[in-house]
Amino acid sequence: MKCLIALITALTASCSFQKQKPVKTRNPVDELQKKMALYASASIRTVDGFGWLSPPCDGLLFNSLAATAGMNINIMSAEEAPGRWRRHPDFSTCKPFSGSKSTISRDMFRGLFIYLLKMKDTPALERIRNYGESRNWFMGEAEDPTTALGRTWFNPIIRNQLDRMIDSFSPKTMTTELGGYEAHLDVLRIYTEYLISGYLEEYELDQLKKYRDTNPRNALFQAMYHAFKDGDQTNAIKILMDESLFPADRLPDETNYYTHYLFERDMGPDWLPCNQAGDERRCTGRQHSGVDFLFAAYIVTSFHNP
């Protein structure tokens, strides 16, 4: 029966959608790889006592992306119990009334899924599913129980994708275009689709194009679109080598751009340097981890020799 369902699903997909496989990166990547090595070396020196990069309460998302890009970070230390994940390995914080409004959020799993798929850790994915099924898909606790649905609950879309990470026979659910920080999460979702099947559907490539066109200086959006369109990573590499954003000899800090992870923000104030005076976006001396650079560069270079 499962084979029949899989066959029907595959035939339907082949009639409806064109499969977009990745295209080899056409550009030289030697200089980008050198900069990646410098950033990875500098970034790992900024980890906290748990060996994780900041910020702690968004730690699972961004450390998973860093680990996917090759950094030596123990992501599994944030699994508090089988299938129960936390934002950070320090379970005494990043929870309701102590650093965060919830113990976990769906956003965190977007990075985690990519890491677990890269590591081919199906048992960890099965533990997540088992934990969710046992708790009616509430994956953690929220400060306000009325907001738990929006923060910690796995909706049918993410559950469908989780099923397909574990069992390729599950049929696929289509999603819609998003904006703001959710656009970044959707690009991660689309990349996860590639990791599951080895290709994207044509409508997913169209979504990537819209995200790229809306934020043309977003190197991650550029890299993802061109990885499946034509392999021309000229724009992504140009952004990543731009020293006003990503200095050649150090990690970026607030004097380069205000937000800690650039590519989850639409073009705007978060892309600008901090302010030396006034109350808005005041400079505090904060250094960034460089995960934004490292993960986008990883997308570019990983398709150089797919």
* Per-residue pLDDT tens over the stretch 70-119: 999 999 999 999 999 999 999 999 999 999 999 999 999 999 999 999 99
Cα–Cα distance between 31 and 21 in angstroms, integer? 26
State whether residue 282 is helix, strand or coil. Answer: strand
pLDDT score, position 99: 95
% of the chain beyond a pLDDT of 70: 91
pTM for this prediction: 0.92
* Per-residue pLDDT tens over the stretch 173-205: 766 556 578 999 999 999 999 999 999 999 999
Supply angle C-alpha 2, 199, 240, rounded to 5. Answer: 145
Cα–Cα distance between 203 and 210 in angstroms, integer? 11
Residue 206 tokens read as 């169209």
* Per-residue pLDDT tens over the stretch 147-160: 888 899 999 999 99
The pair phi, psi for residue 242, each rounded to 5°, is: -70, 110
